[in-house]
Structure 1
Amino acid sequence: MSKDSAGRTGVALTERQKISWLRLIRSDNVGPVAFRDLINHFGTAENALDALPELSRRGGKQQAYRIASVNEAERELEAARRHGAVFVGIGEPGYPSALRQIDGAPPLLAMKGDLDAATRPSLGIVGSRNASISGAKFAAMIARESGRAGYVIASGLARGIDTAAHRASLGTGTIAALAGGLDRPYPPENIGLLEEITSGRGLAISEMPFGWEPRARDFPRRNRLIAGVGLGVAIVEAAHRSGSLITARYAADFGRLVFAVPGSPLDPRCHGTNDLLKQGAIVTTSPEDITEALAPLSQLELPLPAAIREPDNNVRPDGPTTTSDHDRSALADALGPTPAEIDDIVRHTGLSPAQVYLLLLELDLAGRLERHAGGRVSLASPE
C-alpha cells in the first residue's frame, strides 16, 4: 500500500501492468466483472491474457478470439498523454473512492483535469435536456450550495440540467462523465464547457477508449458512472423513460441516496421525478435537504476493495480450479433467459463457487452470458 503526494492510498500500477490491464479490458467480451474475475482467478492481467483464447473456446466461441495487442494499448496510452489525460486503475491512488465500491466498477478510468476532484465527496445532479428556466435555476442552486458545503458535483455534460449543474460548480469542483472517449465529448456545443471544467477545479472521466464516438447504448454506462461516483444523486425534471431515471435506478442499486425535486403534474418534464417521490425518493425543495442528508455519509472512510489488486508481477493464483464438460452441461442446463442468483446456481448444480465463477467466465468471454443488477446472470439470447 502506498500514498501519493496528496495522501491518497492505493497500490500504483507499473507501466507494464497498465498496458496489460488496458489490453485485457479492451479484449473481446471482457467487461468490468469479467476483468475482476480474471484477475482474481489468474493473479495478474498478463496471466489472464494468456488464458483468454482457451477460456472462450471452452465457453463455446466458434470464431477466433481477439486480444488487444501491446501496440493498441501503447497507442491508447500515448493518446491519453497527448490529450493531457491519465489512466487510473481501481486500486490506485486517485480512483474515485465511492465508485470503487460498486459491483463491476470500471477497472481503468481515463481522467483529465484536477485529479483531486475524484477523491472528494461527490453529489450527482442530472435532469431534463429540455430544462425549464426554473428547473435550470434550481439545479444551479443545488450545485452551488452543495459545492460550498464541500461536495464535488457530478453530471453528464448534457444540455439543460447537466449544463446548469456543471456551470454552477466550476469554482468548487465538478466531474463530467462522458459516454465516449475523452477526446469525443458530446454534445458538441458543450466542448467549451468541458475545457472550462478540465482547466479549472473540475475533471472529465470515461471508461471508453480514446477515439470512441458515443452511441445511444453507451449513455447508460455514463449514467452508471455518475451514480457510482456520488454519495447520492439529485434528479431535477425527468420525463418518463428519461435517462435521468436510469441514473436514479443505478444509484438506488448502489445504495446511494436518491433526491427528487417535485414539479407540476401538468409538466411532462416532471412526471419521472414525481414518480420517484412516490417510490420513496427524498423530497428536495432546498439545497439543505441534500447537504443535511449527505453529511453523515461524507464522514465515512470508505475501504479499498479486496479485489482487482495487482501489486507486483509475482502474484499467482492460489491454485487451479478444474472443470469438466459434464460441469459445463450442468451449468448450461441450470441457466436460462431468466436472471438467476449465483448462490442459487451453486446450490442447484452442486458445483463449488470457484467452479461456477470459472464456468460463467467462460460463457461470458464467448459472448453467451448476460449480467444483470445484483450480480445475477442469464444466458444471452441467440443473435
Structure 2
Amino acid sequence: MLPTTAPALPADELRAWLRLVHSPGLGPSAARRLLAAFGSPQHAVAAGPTAWREVGGGAAAQALIQPALDHEALFATTLAWLEADPDRRHLLTLGDPAYPSALLEIADPPLLLYAQGRLSLLAPPSLAIVGSRHATTGGLDNARAFARHLSASGLVIVSGLALGIDGAAHDGALAGAEASGQGGTIAVVGTGLDRVYPKRHHALAHRMIDGAGLILSEFCLGAEPLAEHFPRRNRIIAGLSLGTLVVEAAVQSGSLITARLAAECGREVFAIPGSIHNPQSRGCHRLIKEGAKLVETADDILQELRMPPPIGAPAPQAAPLARHEPAAEEDPLLTALGHDPMTLDALSDRTGWPAAELQAHLLALELEGRVARLPGGLFQRRATG
C-alpha cells in the first residue's frame, strides 16, 4: 500500500531536483543520464560543465551553465506551495515510496510529479476514461454513468480535466466514490498545479482536492497550458491505468493518442461504439477495427479486468436521459437529440420542453433538412457535411 503522504524533501535536494528537471534546454533523457551517472540530483548539478558535457551532451551543459529560468525564485515558490498545505500537496521523485510503480513501466516516466489531493489514490487499480472535448449529450451521459459505476466498484478513474468527456468522467467518479466509500478520480493536467485549466473546471478541481480526488502534473508551478504539454500528459494518463476507455473521439483526437500509448504499454483499450452519423464516434470505431474491446456496459470492463461489480448496483446499459447545457453555437434541440433515433417522449424527458413547443421546433428543423422523421414516431438528426 502506498503512503498517504510523501516525506518532505530536504531543501538542498529540492533545489537540485528543480534545477535538473526544469532547466529549459535540458531534456528528460539528458536529465535521466545525469542522474544515472552521478546517483543523485545534488551530485548531478554539482558535477560541473565538463562532466555535464560528457554525460548529457553540449545542449545539456549549456542549459545548466546559463539557466534560462530563475531557479531560486522557483525553489521559493515551490517550497511555499508545499508548506501551505503539507497534508495535500506533495512532490514525488522517482525514488519516493509514493511514486506510482505503474509509471516506472513506461518508456519516459516523469522524474518529478507534483500532487495535490488524496495521495492514497495512487495505490488502487485505475482505469483511464478519455474522449472528445466536443462530446454529445449521450457521450457525456455515458462517461458519467460508466465512471460512477466503475468508481463504486473500486477503480480509480484517471482523466485529463479537459472539457467534455474528461470532466464528465471525473464528476461521475466522485459521485461513485461518495456513494460507495471507495474508488475516486485522478486528473493529470498540462499546467502547473497553482492554476486550473480550463477555468470552467475550477469548482470540479476543488471538489477533487477536497474529496476523493488527486491532481497530478509533471510541470512546474506557473506552467501555462501550452499545446505541447498535453500529448506529454497523455502518456501519464495511459501509464497510470490498467486500461483506457475511449467514450467519444474524432479520428484526429488526443484521446486516440492516449489509447495508442496504452496499447504500447501493454494495457487494455476499450471503446464505446456510437452512431455511424456521429463524427465523434469515428475514433472509437477505428479503435474497435484495430482491436480495441467493444464495451456496452461498465460490467464488460470489470469482467475483462477481473473485478467484481459493486453490490446491488446495476451497470449502465445506455446513456441516461439527463439535461445538459448545449454548446452556444448549436441549436439546443439538436444537442439534446444527439445522433441516434429518439422518440418524442424521450426527447421531452431530456429537454424538459413542453410537447407543443417541442413539436413546433422539430417541425422547423425538419423543414430545414436538419432532422428526419422516421417510422415509429422516431426523430433523428440528419448527417451534414
User: Could you say if the C-alpha distance between residues 271 and 216 of structure 1 is closer, same or farther in structure 2, counting changes exceeding 3 Å?
Assistant: same
1:310 corresponding residue in structure 2: none
Partners of 2:52 and 2:99 lie apart in 1 by 30
Partners of 1:91 and 1:150 lie apart in 2 by 27
Which residue identity lines up with residue 193 of structure 2 in the other structure? L
Matched, 1:49 2:45: yes
CA contact (8 A) 2:2 2:122 kept: no
Partners of 2:296 and 2:102 lie apart in 1 by 26
2:169 corresponding residue in structure 1: 165
Alignment partner of 1:20 out of 16, 19, 28: 16
Partners of 2:25 and 2:108 lie apart in 1 by 14
Summarize deviations over 1:128-184 as a string: whole Å, max 9, x none.
Answer: 111112111111122111112211001111111111110011123100111000112
Matched, 1:247 2:234: no
1:224 corresponding residue in structure 2: 235
User: Could you say if the C-alpha distance between residues 55 and 253 of structure 1 is closer, same or farther in structure 2, counting changes exceeding 3 Å?
Assistant: farther
User: Could you say if the C-alpha distance between residues 264 and 255 of structure 1 is closer, same or farther in structure 2, counting changes exceeding 3 Å?
Assistant: same
Matched, 1:29 2:33: no
Which residue identity lines up with residue 45 of structure 1 in the other structure? P
Q: Indicate the SS of the match to 1:103.
A: coil
User: Could you say if the C-alpha distance between residues 122 and 16 of structure 1 is closer, same or farther in structure 2, counting changes exceeding 3 Å?
Assistant: same
Structure 1 or 2, whichever has the larger Rg, is: 2
Q: Indicate the SS of the match to 2:261.
A: helix
2:359 corresponding residue in structure 1: none
Matched, 1:121 2:157: no
2:185 corresponding residue in structure 1: 174
CA contact (8 A) 1:117 1:175 kept: yes
Summarize deviations over 1:198-221 as a string: whole Å, max 9, x none.
Answer: 100110110001111111111111
Summarize deviations over 1:7-59 as a string: whole Å, max 9, x none.
Answer: x9x99854432332222111233343333322111111122113363356563
Partners of 2:19 and 2:233 lie apart in 1 by 21
Matched, 1:268 2:283: no
Partners of 2:130 and 2:48 lie apart in 1 by 38
Q: Indicate the SS of the match to 1:174.
A: strand
Q: Indicate the SS of the match to 2:212.
A: coil
Counterparts of 1:61-72 in structure 2 under 5 Å? 61=59, 65-67=65-67, 69-70=71-72, 72=74
CA contact (8 A) 1:238 1:271 kept: yes
Moved more, 32-41 or 174-183: 32-41
Matched, 1:204 2:215: yes
Matched, 1:135 2:139: yes
User: Could you say if the C-alpha distance between residues 13 and 85 of structure 1 is closer, same or farther in structure 2, counting changes exceeding 3 Å?
Assistant: closer
Residue 197 of structure 1, CA deviation:
0.5
2:289 corresponding residue in structure 1: 278
1:77 corresponding residue in structure 2: 79
Moved more, 61-70 or 158-167: 61-70
- Over the residues paired in the alignment, what is the CA RMSD in angstroms? 2.4
User: Could you say if the C-alpha distance between residues 165 and 151 of structure 1 is closer, same or farther in structure 2, counting changes exceeding 3 Å?
Assistant: same
Partners of 1:42 and 1:182 lie apart in 2 by 29
CA contact (8 A) 1:13 1:89 kept: no
**Structure 1 length-normalised TM:** 0.70
- Structure 2 residue runs of 5 or longer lacking an equivalent are 178-182, 308-385
1:190 corresponding residue in structure 2: 201
Partners of 1:192 and 1:54 lie apart in 2 by 49
CA contact (8 A) 1:184 1:214 kept: no
Partners of 1:17 and 1:122 lie apart in 2 by 31
Partners of 2:152 and 2:289 lie apart in 1 by 30
Partners of 2:242 and 2:299 lie apart in 1 by 15
CA contact (8 A) 1:80 1:210 kept: no
Counterparts of 1:330-341 in structure 2 under 5 Å? none
Matched, 1:292 2:292: no
Residue 97 of structure 1, CA deviation:
2.8
CA contact (8 A) 2:127 2:245 kept: yes
Residue 73 of structure 1, CA deviation:
2.3
Q: Indicate the SS of the match to 1:204.
A: strand
Residue 60 of structure 1, CA deviation:
4.0
Alignment partner of 1:259 out of 270, 282, 298: 270
Q: Indicate the SS of the match to 2:191.
A: coil
2:244 corresponding residue in structure 1: 233
Which residue identity lines up with residue 234 of structure 1 in the other structure? L
Aligned residues: 292
Residue 224 of structure 1, CA deviation:
1.5
User: Could you say if the C-alpha distance between residues 4 and 15 of structure 1 is closer, same or farther in structure 2, counting changes exceeding 3 Å?
Assistant: farther
Which residue identity lines up with residue 75 of structure 2 in the other structure? A
- Structure 1 residue runs of 5 or longer lacking an equivalent are 297-383
2:383 corresponding residue in structure 1: none
Summarize deviations over 1:280-305 as a string: whole Å, max 9, x none.
Answer: 11111111121122237xxxxxxxxx
